[in-house]
Amino acid sequence: MLNNIDKALRIGDLNLSESLDNLKSLAIEKARLVKLAQESARARILSGCADDALMYGIENIPSDETEQLKKFGCDSWWFKQFKTLKKRKLEQVARDLELVHKHQSSYVSNYTNNRRRQEKLLSRQFLESTYINNELGEEFSLAEVYDKNVSNPAIRRAELMVRAKGFEELAEYHHHQALFITLTTPSRFHQIKANGTANPKFNGATPREAHHFLNEEWKLIRSAIHKKQINPYGFRVVEPHHDSTPHWHLLLFIHPDDTKNLIKTFQHYALQDEDTNRINLKHRIKCVTIDPEKGTATGYIAKYISKNIDGHAIEKDLDGKDATEAARKIEAWASNWGIRQFQQIGGAPVTIWRELRKLRDPVDNPIIEQARKAADSSDWAAYNLAMGGVNLPRSARPIQPYYEEQEINLVFNTDTGEVINEPNIVKKLKGLSTGEQITITRKHEWKISGSVNSVNSGTEITEFAEQPCGRGRHRGSGRGYGRNDDQQTLDADEIAAQYEAYVD
């Protein structure tokens, strides 16, 4: 058994049982080869790096040579990939040992749950000890920024509930029907049965691979209903079964005349799978037509949102265990496997909604002002109507996000934690545009003002904000729900988002 585990953790020259320091050394060596390569040998070196990355199982390998130079020549990029591979492979080993199910540890192994708990503890210490300031001399800790945007679980839950309620109001306005659809993978993706025994049909798939299967099936369904001019809107929630196999819950609003056609399309593509037939179809797809006289659509999905964020207002999960602890383990599961728990289907973009909520005062642009009023009053239905309705293509929306290219100097030395100057040009969200008219929502420039050296967090934390590898990932967010009106317009949200991206 130990020999099999050792083999599972070795991929070529990569040994995932090594310490993070040793993985960091390998990452530095990989990047050094690219940096030292002569131009004549560069193509061969990059090809070798791509082959290695493919062998390791690294996803999203760049094909463009310029992007390859950025990624493969960056030790931080390699190290992040190695850390991700390490944590996922160790969790898969725990699953292979049948340590992940409701009779042992639901959703994730105790090892992964404890590691995630320690990560978040160290992360909180880092946030509380690191400060940012702007050109006006205003200063906040990263913890304050984190707590007042959608990184905060309570705010994320509140925002999702506002959006779900808004969609329900739109459905009532348009006389649309609400459907709640549960989509599950075939039996071969499930490792452990409900009674705790092994499933003989299990094919060894990881939760990420099972999620990919459902995503591919959804793509086919979405394409088919689009051709039939069926345009549902609502939300998707992804959560794990007790053995960590994912399944989807879809709250969809649709014209009543399209209901049967939509359900038949789901069933049709489920039956395309080799292991699905008319007899077991009911285990793959469950469709519930929501009767508003028996309960609201928002109430139907509320428990799933809460269960997968923080367990708020839920005492026990389906297995009778503490809902708060279950939510922590589900969050650890989603983080470990890189699975997006919540996704909006249709409707106006939430990024613009969050930027509008940064505007504290009326603006002279009537299009933006109408949407701003709706967003500021947390009226998701009115916001969608101001943005052209739920089914308008994103490119046709009257308000678009406005980006500017800027030089980012927020980079940390991975060994010392010191802030260093290593410029990186990225596109930064700065505001909103309606044609040629631009409204700036992020008015301040924020810089790190406090030392991160006060936290003895090692490489697990100190390199979180490295962005020299061309990632340029940013998320918009707005003022918190139930917010303090004294809160400043923190366009430092991208700093917290950068940190959150590292932790995940």
Catalytically annotated residues:
300, 304
Q: What is the DSSP string of 14-40?
A: EETTS-HHHHHHHHHHHHHHHHH--HH
Residue 72 φ/ψ, nearest 5 degrees: -70, -25
Angle between helices 75-96 and 323-337 (to 10 degrees): 130
Any residues with CB less than 8 A from the CB of 181 and at least 6 apart, and which? 248, 249, 250, 252, 263, 266, 285, 286, 287, 288
Residues 456, 442: Cα–Cα separation, whole Å: 33
Count H helices and E strands in the chain, helices first: 18, 15
Is 271:211 a contact under the CB 8 Å cutoff? no
Strands (E), 319-449: 342-345, 400-408, 411-412, 419-420, 424-434, 437-440, 447-448
SS3 327: helix
Q: What strand order describes the sheet that includes 447-448? A: 139-141, 131-133, 447-448
Side chain identity, residue 152:
N
Any residues with CB less than 8 A from the CB of 88 and at least 6 apart, and which? 206, 208, 336, 337
Long-range contacts, 12-20 (Cβ 8 Å, 24+):
12/52, 12/55, 12/56, 13/52, 14/56, 14/82, 14/85, 16/82, 16/85, 16/86, 16/89, 16/90, 20/83, 20/86, 20/458, 20/459, 20/460
Angle between helices 39-56 and 75-96 (to 10 degrees): 20
Cα of 9 vs its chain's centroid, Å = 26
Long-range contacts, 290-298 (Cβ 8 Å, 24+):
290/177, 290/178, 290/179, 290/180, 292/172, 292/178, 296/168, 297/164, 297/167, 297/168, 297/171, 297/178, 297/180, 297/251, 297/253, 298/161, 298/164, 298/165, 298/168
Residues 333, 260: Cα–Cα separation, whole Å: 34
Q: What angle do CA 377, 381, 382 make, to 5 degrees?
A: 60
Pairing between strand 131-133 and 14-15?
unpaired
